Structure 1
Amino acid sequence: MRRRTLSLRTAAAGAVIALGMGLVTPLPTAAAAAGPTDDYCQSQCGDILPPGENGNATLADILANRVLGTRPAHTSDQLGPYADLASGYQGLTDAKIGSFYNDSSFGVPEDQVASTYSPRADVTITRDKATGVPHIKGTTRSGTEFGAGYAAAHDRLWLMDLFRHVGRGELTSFAGGAAANQGLEQQFWRAAPYTEADLQAQVDHLAAQGKRGAQALADAQAYVDGINAYIAKAKPGRYFPGEYDLTGHIDPITNAGSIDKFKLTDLIALASVVGALFGSGGGGEVQSALSLQAAQAKYGVTRGTKVWESFRERDDPEAVRTLHDGQTFPYAVKPAHARGTAMPDPGSVTQEPLVYDRTGSAVQGAAAERTPVKAPANLKPLQGVFDHGVLPADLFATPRKGMSNALLVSAAHTASGHPVAVFGPQTGYFAPQLLMLEELQGPGISARGAAFAGLSLYVELGRGQDYAWSATSAAQDVTDTYAVQLCDPDGGTPSKDATSYLWHGSCVPMEKLERTDSWSPTLADSTAKGSYRMQVYRTKYGPVQYRATIDGKPVAYTTLRSSYRHEADSIIGFQMLNDPGYVHDPATFQSAAQHIDYTFNWFYADSRHTAYYNSGSNPVRAPGVDASLPVLAQPAYEWRGFDPDGNTADYTPPAQHPHSVDQDYYVSWNNKQATGYDSATFGNGSVHRANLLDDRVKALVAKGGVTRARLTRAMADAAVTDLRGEDVLPDLLAVLRSAPITDPQLGDTVQKLENWVADGSKRRETSEGSGTYADSDAIRVMDAWWPALVKAEFRPGLGDGLYSALTASLTVDEAPSAGHGPTGSHAGSAFQYGWWSYVDKDLRSVLGKPVSGALGEEYCGGGDLSACRTVLLDSLKQAAAEPASQVYPGDDGCATGDQWCADSIVQRPLGGVTDDRISWQNRPTYQQVVEFPAHR
């Protein structure tokens, strides 16, 4: 790709010249809006997706944003209403829901039409005045999908282009060599190192999946055609995203250069990124093995295993469950007698290197060295950035699993006698947003809602004519780690670096996958030059992640995910959800969700019923295999029916997936689905952020007469509540108050904490826009105290080695301002990962309260209440002395000591236009509030 190096001043001059000469031309328009479609929600459906629908900014727009602070229309018009709910929910009524959510009715009233255009004769795209959302109506199915692609490119072309390159491990060559760009592409490509042949094979596989597969392929091709039609018109018209100018893909003066057309394999690359972020589950077995070994080293095998299992909390009896009506769905449970477990020799595990041959600004070296793994690494955020020196650096921080929530109440407990739902995915906060809004109406398609940019040929989360659906990440275990025995094809003794392995008794070579990525000078940075090579070895059991020895023999630990090489298969399930002729009740909804291979919890509401289904291709494991630990790569321990050529296996039938219809209520916040169902993650214990929802919705249901406003208030109240303050601090205070506090300063601090609990443990402004929290000093103390108290409570008893191993398996803290947490700073999502349950169980044991599923030992003060109290008082005194400047150290956007700003949510820029930060609230990014009064 030819690049030009120009100064910003030259770029600005070029943009001004272009504007002055009238080279920025408007989109084509048509005269009439699309007509109405059957809509049974009767204006009782609303949704919101910040910051705004428009993600397309020309170079002139970007420069104006930088210089003047202006933004293109509909870039941030949903951010204000979204943000205002944090302070406005307490007085919310059904009549006021429209102040915080958009009306998501079908169609656009004539007096609300902003524009219409027909990119081809069989489709019309209508944009509404309020939000600029595209309402796409086709007279043919192909036209509908063509319009969906055209609208997607109109609203998210640059973002789509970024992520098709992320999925291929080519981000830096496309967008520049910023360190975070490198980190983003490396982490995704390590997880899904696809060749072009792999991507094409998924397209070919879809074509072979019967009529619906053929239809999905035809829909996808029409969608891609629409994207390319927009590119063809936007390039000469100069209304393409200005980021192409800034990265040197297009000359801002002459308009020379190009935007590569999209193809079907690009959609697979995009889907692989989304699947890795939100729809996978399991893995981490090597880290689990290391923490188990640390426990056994501390306590001995028998006692150490018991202690480790208590921290693992596989099926904790006190964990909040989405299904609470007594159903049991055994999956990935701990076997009575494990077989084939592949524990490494202590000290032998090294991580497989990914990056080689660095040049340029990064540290140079001919090859990466293997890094010893002494303990599991903390859950790291997926870091990525659109940063070329001009545009702001983004800390793309989204955990591999998680987020999203759902609250549904059945008809029997609502004021209207119709179900009520408040639900949505929490996909992080970006500018532009990863999701986009749309309405699709055409033959066999009738839906409105959100879809990931570049995958919006169907609405993925939203509503149909008389039903709505949404999802939360489920993260059940569909990924296993195999210990592949290394070998020498010449019969010699293999080394730990060997690239051949045993497959069913034969020594076969690993497949070497490589990607060389380089970056050249951009418009803003003439010194940005460099390159590196990414390398992954792939076996029939998946890509190599670690190497080790077992009983002195070298092995490679590989990761096998059931959805690997099947990123496109889920398209059929989404096609069904958009088809009004298919989905019309809970049974057909669950049938559609069964065709989705990603690990999601799916929720449904219509005018009569609510329903739930947990999707994912759950492999059938060999008897005795412990899914939480590595397993030997031998036929006896493989997935049943495993075929490595297509990465297929036998999967558990739908009846064995957690599912339900018309339970009194459902809540989900990435918590445990049902008794017996294991998610392969630490932390599903007595205190989970889902408790914040469960307690509130349970109380509403007990009272009866639930409305949309009441359910929304429950969600919003949980969204500004500190989980530690509500569910753990009362026990901490009980220990502290078990004897008189003689230190006046400590007594004052404890009183402040008690007042905060009495006020509801909120992190909420004193008044809208004040930038100051009520109970701010108590919050400061809690933020400083929590990591200190966990360390003081557990480290003496666990010892340094085991404490480090367990904190690596589950991070201690994920408060909103905890930049060290899994989601990073300013991410919104909080309190998913942490030691809340461990502290809760340990303190209740010390206090003599009943505990089901107690930890294997008592840790605070060795189980002595007086000694525990001393430990807590000492750590509290230390925390109370920490000034705000130390607790909240500040960053590029926040002054040192600014508590509110440290918590605040930033719309992380993935393009050239930035948005304002908003007050913290822990809720879905895209969210629906629905209540259908009628049904077909």
Structure 2
Amino acid sequence: MPRRTPRNAPAALRTPRGFPGFLKAASVCTLIAGLLSPLSPAVTLSEAAAAEPAAITDHCGSRCSDILPPGQNGNATLAQILLNQAFGTLPEHASDQLGPYAALAKGHTGLTDATISSFFNDASFGVPADQVASTVKPAGRDDVTIVRDKKTGVPHITGTTRYGTEFGAGYAAAQDRLWLMDVFRHVGRGQLTSFAGGAPSNQGLEQQFWRSAPYTEAELRAQIDSAVAKGGERGRQALADATAYLDGVNSYIDASDSGRYFPGEYVLTGHKDSITNAGTIEHFKLTDLVALASVIGALFGSGGGGEVDNALTLLAAQEKYGVVEGTRLWESFRQRNDPEAAVTVHGKSFPYATKPADPQGTALPDAGSVTEEQLVYDRTGSAAGAAAGDASTTAAATALGSARRGMSNALVVSGEHTASGHPIAVFGPQTGYFAPQLLLLQEVQGPGISARGASFAGLSMYVELGRGQDYAWSATTSGQDIIDTYAVELCQDDHHYLYRGTCTAMDQVEQKNAWKPTTADGTAAGSYTMRVWRTKYGPVTHRATVGGKKVAYTSLRSSYLHEVDSIIGFQMLNDPDYVKGPADFQRATQHINFTFNWFYADSAHTAYHNSGDNPVRAAGVDPDFPVWARPAHEWQGWDPAGNTARYTPPSEHPNSVDQDYYISWNNKQAADYSTAPWGDGSVHRGDLLDDRVRALVDRGGVTRAALVKAMADAGLADLRAEDVLPGLLRVVTSSPVTDPTAAAAVTKLQAWVAAGARRTETSAGSKKYADADAIRILDAWWPRLVKAQFEPGLGGALYTAMQRNLPVDEAPSAGHGPTGSHAGSSFQYGWWSYVDKDIRAVLGEPVRGPLDRVYCGGGSLSACRDLLIGTLKEAAGRTAAQVYPGDEQCAAGDQWCADAIVQRTLGGIKHGKISWQNRPTYQQVVEFTSHR
């Protein structure tokens, strides 16, 4: 284990807690020596005994638990960063949740309710007297107290006034995540390179997010004013809460600046001088919260888009097979409403974004005419030295960019099927693995607020996912389509377009960034300008011609200019006087305009609701393709001035109360509810949960431990091996396998399937997989068999094009996949359903929602078998070094390391790798024993 900073170290090393330092080890000792000279006291806060809080009954009865790796402490002083880089020491509470989280991968098999505490934190309200590590009155205030516990360092904030409560929440957030908050307010404003340097990873982050939310300062402020006005009394309270929260953040900035214990990344990026303390850390303002919210909304709460890619693959299919047959092929692969798809709500239909019988207004591009809109202009300088920088930061950008694809799960069982008679839930969001983590833990108790759980750093005036006094809630990304692509016809020049018959100038928004040379990350000085052209129908994303007419394709999402609106729903979820049962919970989540699946449990009830502002589309509009920007095809009731429209009512969103059980792993919500992502077919990782939870419910007497074990077991399963490989092996063994190489491979694969098809270590900490050869063979075989199975029938161009809509593979080690290497979340996107349906068709088994034709071997069992055996032999002959070629984290051939999860550095502190498991980052285990 890494060595930790001693508790008796100088104050600068002990003070709570950023961004990679990139300093050479040779210079570290000299810098540390200077930093360890006599220092002013690191903490100058007034400390006092906590005032007695109002009595709160915790109805969880010690049966609420949670976990959030790597640790609560996400800030580090310069000395702590240098010590970490030189010697591997870690600040207190920077990594103490990583070990228990990692240990569940092997420890779950013998789990009991009594041993859950070995792998999760106690999430009860309050801190026992003998577990109090510190008690602080921030800024000397007497209306709020922050108590931190010894085990995790989580802040328990108790206020006697609403203002004091929120002040304390802001102060505690800055203690734990100040640098990360600063990074992301600059990401949201498209200013990260000017703030943190011109490393390619920084450029990628700011370009990706600013493109989708290129707001001016006035527009950021207008969002606040609009949300307050629309929210009435709750809107006014939210504004007051946010103001108090920022006062707390800024108070900590001032205290840490004067005490010289601010995050060391400010020194490493040139904002502060380590010797003279010259320089400033800018105070946060309300519009910074909007910038932060726009990033989180883009990451996790905005499903849809992709209509241009859809159009390109449709055109490719039609070019090869003609319009009728090509369209039928495309629709079969799109699987808009696959009858074999796993769903969260059982037995109910919720039609949305379905394919119209007679599409109207579709604006498909002319072949070969599409170009992506240029974003970056006037580039100077060079990023040629990027290879010398921190590759893990580049990987972090990849993982952040793909996080909106999914990555969360939920398992909720009704009390009718549990041993106690009370519902049980194991649920949480998968927000990726970062150091520091994007989320933070907190307990907040004050007038009108009573909750413990996780919140995004910088937006933690309320608990966003967690528990109240007698209920808990969580979310998964739902991904339903709230984004449409419009084709605006150009007039006059490339920057004018027809808007309701009038030639109208596009609006141009620019962000100019410049950065200084940095030897640390290998970048030279440079600058560039980001430029987005905007229309009434949203920002321009592509240029093309349609029927010979020049058009710009734009992206319009219902949450555009409305990222702040969701604050009202979160305020309600934190209010014990509002949420008293499942109906109140559903009403609260109806105020959240981001696309999420929300789950609820109390001592007697469970519930589910899908949130998001789903626009009511014009009759005949196909949401999967670009549509002409004309009044007849606009969203119903659409007002471009504020980007408001008619939205489908809450009753038309998938919802349920007291269903036998709920599962969600970013799968389809309900029958006829069309989600934007591809891949909701017969095989989905949601099946891994559904199979296990359904079996538990059938047996009855479900316990917390049993539900955790089901989650953990699914999180170690290889979806391909559990749900697709058996069919492949039935084809291969339909006749005796005489080739010795293929026969040996079949034997290994069969044994792995019989053992449970998991990717798990031989023993805890061994860093070697059981069934290692079988795993290697399947990892090598899958992309080969998919290509051999489908490319002959699709043709090379269409096969390649289809992968823009749905990658072939997302195994843990598949660095080419949408999530990137070492990111944990796996098996969300792949051609599992296509292979499954096609193989079953070859075998003559029933297939509901089949593909347009049988592809493997042209439908011949013997030809398909020959194809599979040929690719299997090739895969079996690949060495571990060929299958796992190595990267900046791992040596070639290291299978365990290729899968391993890395906490990607967004700050200066680095952590060790942990064994792969496919589960939420923040996770709760809850079973309430009573109710108010």
TM-score category (smaller protein) = over 0.9
Q: CA–CA distance in 2 between the matches of 1:851 and 1:329?
A: 23
Partner SS, residue 935 of structure 1: coil
Q: CA–CA distance in 2 between the matches of 1:271 and 1:234?
A: 25
Which residue of structure 1 lines up, in the alignment, with residue 882 of structure 2? 886
Q: CA–CA distance in 1 between the matches of 2:541 and 2:837?
A: 35
Which residue of structure 2 lines up, in the alignment, with residue 741 of structure 1? 737
Deviation at 1:18, TM superposition (A): 4.0
Which residue of structure 2 lines up, in the alignment, with residue 848 of structure 1? 844
Deviation at 1:386, TM superposition (A): 14
Which residue of structure 2 lines up, in the alignment, with residue 870 of structure 1? 866
Deviation at 1:395, TM superposition (A): 3.1
Which of 168, 172, 195 does residue 174 from structure 1 map onto?
Answer: 195
Q: CA–CA distance in 1 between the matches of 2:442 and 2:243?
A: 19
RMSD across aligned C-alpha pairs, in angstroms? 1.7
Alignment of 1:757-772 (within 5 A): 757-772=753-768
Which residue of structure 1 lines up, in the alignment, with residue 436 of structure 2? 432
Which of 415, 420, 438 does residue 416 from structure 1 map onto?
Answer: 420
Which residue of structure 1 lines up, in the alignment, with residue 342 of structure 2? 320
The one-letter code sitting in structure 2 at the alignment partner of 1:483 is A
The one-letter code sitting in structure 1 at the alignment partner of 2:131 is Q
Partner SS, residue 320 of structure 1: coil
Deviation at 1:197, TM superposition (A): 1.1
Deviations 1:893-936 (A, max 9, x none): 21110000000000001000001110000000000000001000
Q: CA–CA distance in 2 between the matches of 1:49 and 1:649?
A: 38
Unaligned runs of at least 5 residues, structure 1? 365-384, 489-493
The one-letter code sitting in structure 2 at the alignment partner of 1:202 is Q
TM-score (norm: length of structure 1): 0.95
Deviations 1:199-240 (A, max 9, x none): 011111122121000100110000011000000100010111
Which residue of structure 1 lines up, in the alignment, with residue 4 of structure 2? none
Which residue of structure 2 lines up, in the alignment, with residue 100 of structure 1? 119
TM-score (norm: length of structure 2): 0.95
Cα distance, 1:12–1:253 mapped onto 2, change above 3 Å: farther
Does the aligned pair in 2 maintain the 1:842–1:855 contact within 8 Å? yes
Identity %: 68
Deviation at 1:92, TM superposition (A): 0.5
Which residue of structure 1 lines up, in the alignment, with residue 489 of structure 2? 485
Q: CA–CA distance in 1 between the matches of 2:903 and 2:577?
A: 38
Which of 402, 409, 422 does residue 405 from structure 1 map onto?
Answer: 409
Does the aligned pair in 2 maintain the 1:386–1:911 contact within 8 Å? no
Q: CA–CA distance in 1 between the matches of 2:286 and 2:367?
A: 46
Which residue of structure 2 lines up, in the alignment, with residue 372 of structure 1? none
Which of 495, 499, 512 does residue 495 from structure 2 map onto?
Answer: 499
Does the aligned pair in 2 maintain the 1:8–1:524 contact within 8 Å? no
Deviations 1:495-514 (A, max 9, x none): xxx10000010001000111
Deviation at 1:392, TM superposition (A): 6.2
Does the aligned pair in 2 maintain the 1:386–1:393 contact within 8 Å? no
Does the aligned pair in 2 maintain the 1:669–1:690 contact within 8 Å? yes
Deviations 1:471-495 (A, max 9, x none): 000000000000000001xxxxx4x
1:89 aligns with 2:108: yes
Which residue of structure 1 lines up, in the alignment, with residue 311 of structure 2? 289
Moved more, 887-896 or 656-665: 887-896
Which residue of structure 2 lines up, in the alignment, with residue 337 of structure 1? 358
Does the aligned pair in 2 maintain the 1:43–1:103 contact within 8 Å? yes
Alignment of 1:713-862 (within 5 A): 713-862=709-858
Q: CA–CA distance in 2 between the matches of 1:191 and 1:784?
A: 37
Partner SS, residue 447 of structure 1: strand
1:251 aligns with 2:273: yes
Deviations 1:580-613 (A, max 9, x none): 0000100000000000000000000000000000
1:135 aligns with 2:131: no
Q: CA–CA distance in 2 between the matches of 1:336 and 1:791?
A: 33
Moved more, 130-139 or 392-401: 392-401
Partner SS, residue 563 of structure 1: coil
1:42 aligns with 2:64: no
Alignment of 1:511-590 (within 5 A): 511-522=507-518, 524=520, 528-590=524-586
The one-letter code sitting in structure 2 at the alignment partner of 1:517 is N
1:61 aligns with 2:83: no
1:152 aligns with 2:169: no
Deviations 1:147-203 (A, max 9, x none): 000000000000000000000110011111111111111111111111111101111
Which residue of structure 1 lines up, in the alignment, with residue 90 of structure 2? 71
Which residue of structure 2 lines up, in the alignment, with residue 26 of structure 1? 43
The one-letter code sitting in structure 2 at the alignment partner of 1:415 is A
Does the aligned pair in 2 maintain the 1:386–1:909 contact within 8 Å? no
Alignment of 1:693-712 (within 5 A): 693-712=689-708
Does the aligned pair in 2 maintain the 1:732–1:843 contact within 8 Å? yes
Does the aligned pair in 1 maintain the 2:418–2:702 contact within 8 Å? yes
Moved more, 768-777 or 388-397: 388-397
Partner SS, residue 924 of structure 1: coil
Q: CA–CA distance in 1 between the matches of 2:826 and 2:820?
A: 10
Which residue of structure 2 lines up, in the alignment, with residue 348 of structure 1? 369
Partner SS, residue 73 of structure 2: coil
Q: CA–CA distance in 2 between the matches of 1:19 and 1:153?
A: 24
The one-letter code sitting in structure 1 at the alignment partner of 2:913 is R
Partner SS, residue 499 of structure 1: strand
Q: CA–CA distance in 2 between the matches of 1:905 and 1:11?
A: 27
1:189 aligns with 2:210: yes
Q: CA–CA distance in 1 between the matches of 2:473 and 2:904?
A: 27
Partner SS, residue 491 of structure 2: coil
Deviation at 1:541, TM superposition (A): 0.1
Alignment of 1:553-702 (within 5 A): 553-702=549-698
Q: CA–CA distance in 2 between the matches of 1:260 and 1:522?
A: 22
Cα distance, 1:677–1:527 mapped onto 2, change above 3 Å: closer
Does the aligned pair in 2 maintain the 1:466–1:932 contact within 8 Å? yes
Which residue of structure 1 lines up, in the alignment, with residue 894 of structure 2? 898
Cα distance, 1:585–1:361 mapped onto 2, change above 3 Å: same
Deviation at 1:721, TM superposition (A): 0.4
1:235 aligns with 2:231: no
Deviations 1:348-394 (A, max 9, x none): 11110111111111489xxxxxxxxxxxxxxxxxxxx9996699655
Cα distance, 1:24–1:813 mapped onto 2, change above 3 Å: farther
The one-letter code sitting in structure 2 at the alignment partner of 1:327 is K
Moved more, 296-305 or 904-913: 296-305
Deviation at 1:17, TM superposition (A): 3.2
Partner SS, residue 396 of structure 2: coil
Partner SS, residue 558 of structure 1: strand
Unaligned runs of at least 5 residues, structure 2? 1-20
Deviation at 1:256, TM superposition (A): 0.6
Q: CA–CA distance in 2 between the matches of 1:208 and 1:142?
A: 20
Moved more, 17-26 or 244-253: 17-26
Which residue of structure 1 lines up, in the alignment, with residue 8 of structure 2? none
Deviation at 1:804, TM superposition (A): 1.1
Alignment of 1:336-485 (within 5 A): 336-362=357-383, 394-396=395-397, 397-398=399-400, 399=402, 400-485=404-489
Does the aligned pair in 2 maintain the 1:33–1:116 contact within 8 Å? yes
Q: How many residues align?
A: 904
Deviation at 1:27, TM superposition (A): 5.0
Does the aligned pair in 2 maintain the 1:393–1:909 contact within 8 Å? no
Deviations 1:740-776 (A, max 9, x none): 1111121011000000000100100000011110000
Structure 1: which 4+ aligned runs deviate by more than 4 Å?
4-15, 385-394
Partner SS, residue 716 of structure 1: helix
Cα distance, 1:197–1:481 mapped onto 2, change above 3 Å: same
Q: CA–CA distance in 2 between the matches of 1:73 and 1:223?
A: 25
Partner SS, residue 338 of structure 2: coil
Partner SS, residue 137 of structure 2: strand
Moved more, 803-812 or 259-268: 803-812
Cα distance, 1:350–1:674 mapped onto 2, change above 3 Å: same
The one-letter code sitting in structure 2 at the alignment partner of 1:770 is S
Cα distance, 1:283–1:6 mapped onto 2, change above 3 Å: closer
Q: CA–CA distance in 2 between the matches of 1:819 and 1:389?
A: 17
Does the aligned pair in 2 maintain the 1:6–1:524 contact within 8 Å? yes
Deviations 1:781-837 (A, max 9, x none): 000000000000000011112111111110000000000000000000000000000
